[in-house]
A and B are shown apart, each in its own frame.
Chain A
């Protein structure tokens, strides 16, 4: 059952495109990864789904969620969905919580935003949530202020807030990026376990292919505000069709791409992500792509049956990854 259907989603700010027409779907209970370098439009996509895009961002297209068109809803109408049906876990646990309010209260606020329950009932729910995200003594820890918790603990609070009203979809924007490596795996495992228990769908946004592939069933690859490839995690790892996906795989040493590289040399993608107005006409990956030809001046559509990709000259499925091509010096 389709939970979320995004089609032709365009976001512009000051005439510059941030998202250039994005199409994808998320089914109920499905775990989908959205991957791309910083500046690819991942975060804007997530915020736009929540209706929380920054002021001055113009949105076009369609976002259907549980059969309802979200674009064009008033703030009040959208507020009834946010937190209740669709919730978000933010990147920065250091700043995502109000520094002057006890963390327990911030969770209670999330419960009471949608449920007309007594204060003792919302408190009981808060303690239950804190226990579920792994606080050993919720009673005592709920009275802490954010600065009295570690980064990992704060992110657990943010996750508890997202889970407060059993949402059907959780958007997690780089939920582990700001955490210590040792804590990352714990928080990721927690998130994965909780969405499985709740039956919620998860849209996991990350620049880290390892994170996404360990959690998600399907992967969307984003570059320059467009989806360049969308397929199951397996297909993406084993048989990427878009040159950008292949390059991304190579930079994530240790997964998929076998390390045929000379020791001590890290693979990179040549060039850098252009600034907002600096993307080329036609295919957004032009200029950084080794397979570029004249036809790439036309925008390639995202096509395919199941495994979709937007490239005029895709890699052959099953062909050996293009090792070497992308190795920077």
Chain B
């Protein structure tokens, strides 16, 4: 219920903000040479002369019945275009998340286990540096070293999945690394803190008193207990990943949702912008819902209604 309300609020906000923006889409589409009459005609054709609430209802009704509308610019239906962009961005974000986790979990655990030793401090320092690197800088560095110097992976562009799955994956590797490393470095700090918390917990001492060796006790009780705070951060980081994807797609010239969003903004293709922002909002809200549901699976203290 809260999820639905949140999405409704988000849709109103997105619609309102974009319609407050100055400048008429029809004017932009037709260019500086357009006559007032043709601008008025296009405005009517796009339905932009109707009262705002009606425009809103029209848009949201379309979204609910999965009619995303037609682009203001090309006049083509948006669904296929958005679908193609999603086929790039979805895997990119997923790979970035996986890569981030693959970095965060081992480094976080290791730096927690060695927190009193120099190696642990070095690891913690390394993740701090990782957090400080902006993802686009990392992306450019990776292009220079891996793509240009070593010629291992493509520097930019995207081979569609329909042409070659391997090719598509290859074109996503560097972007996913640039995207995931920073998020992984942030997550690593949370994993470290969570594991340290478990290591100092009384129940871990109880487990050791039962006769479980240190490592076994930590595995037995650490995985679940540490996953509660990590899960929270993971849900929040996903929105960070999606935002990061916009930048990374620009760096690697990937035809993803981010690129589509940027070009639509530049073209004042308001309907496309609205749809994309709503899509991102939905993904974030649904993710948080899933995280909430996962909590209840992991933590019995949060029972229904709790």
Binding site for B on A (CB under 8 A): 50, 52, 55-56, 75-76, 79-84, 87-88, 90, 92, 95-101, 106, 109-110, 113-114, 145, 147, 158, 161-162, 164-165
Contact = CB atoms under 8 A, between A and B. Distances in A.
Contacts of A90: 202, 205-206, 209
B213 A96 contact: no
The 7 closest A-B pairs by CB, nearest first: A83-B211, A95-B202, A113-B211, A83-B210, A98-B203, A110-B210, A82-B211
22 contacts: A81-B211, A83-B209, A83-B211, A84-B211, A90-B202, A90-B205, A95-B203, A98-B225, A99-B299, A99-B300, A100-B225, A100-B298, A100-B300, A101-B221, A106-B206, A109-B207, A109-B210, A110-B210, A110-B211, A113-B212, A145-B301, A161-B206
Given A101-B224, A110-B211, 16 more contacts: A55-B116, A56-B116, A75-B213, A76-B213, A79-B212, A82-B210, A95-B203, A98-B206, A98-B207, A99-B300, A100-B224, A109-B212, A110-B210, A161-B206, A162-B209, A164-B210
Interface residues of B, number: 23
B300 A95 contact: no
B105 to A, nearest CB: 18
A164 B209 CA distance: 12
Interface string B267-306: 0000000000000000000000000000000111100000
A93 to B, nearest CB: 9
Give the one of A52, A88, A113 with max B CB within 10 A. A113
Nearest to A94: B202
A98 B208 CA distance: 12
Given A84-B211, A99-B301, A145-B301, A158 B224 contact: no
B239 to A, nearest CB: 27
B215 to A, nearest CB: 9
A73 B203 CA distance: 23
Nearest to B228: A100
A114 B202 contact: no
B214 interface: yes
A97 B206 contact: yes
Nearest to A86: B209
Contacts of A99: 203, 225, 299-301
Contacts of B214: 75
A96 B207 CA distance: 9
Nearest to A157: B206
Given A75-B214, A109-B212, A161-B210, A145 B203 contact: no
Given A109-B220, A113-B212, A114-B211, A96 B116 contact: no
Contacts of A147: 300-301
Nearest to B200: A54
A13 B225 CA distance: 29
Interface string B210-246: 1111100000110011001000000000000000000
B209 A87 contact: yes
A83 B212 CA distance: 9
B208 A82 contact: yes
A92 B206 CA distance: 11
Nearest to A114: B211
- Which interface residue of B202, B221, B225 has the most chain A CB atoms within 10 A? B202
Contacts of A56: 116
Contacts of B299: 99-100
Contacts of B225: 98-100
A315 B142 CA distance: 81
A233 to B, nearest CB: 27
Contact of A92 (B202, B208, B224): B202
Nearest to A84: B211
A41 to B, nearest CB: 18
Contacts of B209: 50, 52, 82-83, 87-88, 90, 161-162
Given A79-B213, A109-B212, A113-B211, A96 B206 contact: yes
A92 B208 CA distance: 16
A56 B224 CA distance: 27
A94 to B, nearest CB: 8
Contacts of B202: 90, 92, 95-96
Contacts of A162: 209
B152 interface: no
Interface string B50-75: 00000000000000000000000000
Q: Which of B203, B224, B301 has the most CB of A within 10 A?
A: B203
A158 B116 CA distance: 30
Nearest to A74: B213
B133 interface: no
A136 B300 CA distance: 23
Contacts of A81: 211
A95 B201 contact: yes
A288 B202 CA distance: 34
A96 B206 CA distance: 6
B211 A97 contact: no
Contacts of B201: 95
Nearest to A55: B116
Contacts of A106: 206
A79 B301 CA distance: 31
A109 B116 CA distance: 29
